[in-house]
Amino acid sequence: MGIADGIKRISYSPLIGACIRPIGLRRIMQWTYARVRGNPDVVKFSINGVEAILSAGTPHELRCIEGTWFSETEMLSGVLSRLRTGDVFLDVGSNRGVFAIFAAKVVGPEGTVLAFEPEGTAHNRLIENIRLNDLHNVRVFKLALSDIRATRKLVLGDPGAVSQSAHLGNDMGPSEVVETADYDWLVGNQSLPIPRIVKMDIEGHEFAALKGMSATLSNLSCGALFCEIHPFSLPKGVTADQVIKLLQELGFDSIQTKKRSGQLHSVATRNDAHCSFRNPRDPQCAAS
C-alpha cells in the first residue's frame, strides 16, 4: 500500500469521523478532501486483477465509494475468491454496487448477479455503475429482502454519512416507502435462481432476511454466505448469537466471525457445496 493510499485509509478511520461529526465539519471536510485529492467523475478500483469503474461526481459520493472500498475490501476479496465463471451471485443490500460490479466481471456473461437495493439514490447509482462498466449480466431489484412480502418504511439515516445506513424500521427522520419480499417466495414464484454465493449487508434486518431465504440457503448448491451482522441494530429480542445459530441450523459447516467497528463480519461456508452441483471432473472435486 502506497503513502497516498495510506493517507486515504486514515481519513476514513471511524475515530476521525467520530471527532469531526460532533463539531459539524463533515461537509467542509468532504469538500476539502475532494479538492485536495481531485474529485473525478469516476474512480477506478482493482482487486485480484479485476477492475471496476464507479461514479463519484460529488464530494459526498466520492467519500461514500472510497469509504465502502476501504472498509469492505477484505470481504470483497473473500467473495471474489470463491466465485467462478457461470456462478449466480446474490448481493443483498447492494448499495452503489461495489460487490455487484466486481462479481459480474468474475462470473462473466454465463453467470448472473442479482442485486437488491431498495433505497432510491443508491438504486439509481447502482444502475449507473452497471452502465459505466457495460455489464449485461446484472439484474437489479428495487426491493428489500425480508421474511414477508409487505410495504415497509425505509429510514434513510444520516444523509451526510459516508457509511450508508438506510434500514427498515419506524425511526424518526427522512424515509421512503419500499416493497419487501422473502427470497424463497421469489425463487418459487418469480423463478429466481439459487445463488452459489450470497453477500448480505442490510443494517440490522439480516435475521428476518435470512429467515425469508432459509430454503434457499439450505440448498446444497448455496456454498457460502458473507453476512455483516449489526448487533446494535437488530430488532429487540434478537441477538447476534441467534443470527449465528440460524446459520448453523441452515446447514453451514463452518462459520467464522470477525469484529469490526461494532459489527460482525460473518462467513458461513458449506464444505460439500462445490461438488454437489459442479462438474465432477473438476480437479477440485476429484481431490475432495
Domain locations in the chain?
72-286
Of 3.40.50.150, 3.20.20.20, 3.30.360.10, 3.40.640.10, the CATH number of 72-286 is: 3.40.50.150
Could you report the per-residue pLDDT of 33-49, keeping only the tens digit for each?
556 666 678 899 999 89
Q: SS3 of 47, please?
A: strand
What count of other Cβ atoms lies within 10 Å of the Cβ of residue 142? Answer: 16
Residue 269's DSSP bridge partners are: 224, 254
The pLDDT, as a whole number, for residue 102 is 98
3-state DSSP: the chain helix, strand, coil percent, rounded to 5?
40, 25, 35
| pTM: predicted TM-score of the whole model, two decimal places | 0.84
pLDDT tens, residue by residue, 168-224: 888 888 899 999 999 999 999 999 999 999 999 999 999 999 999 999 999 999 999
Match 437495493 to its residue by C-alpha cell. Answer: 117
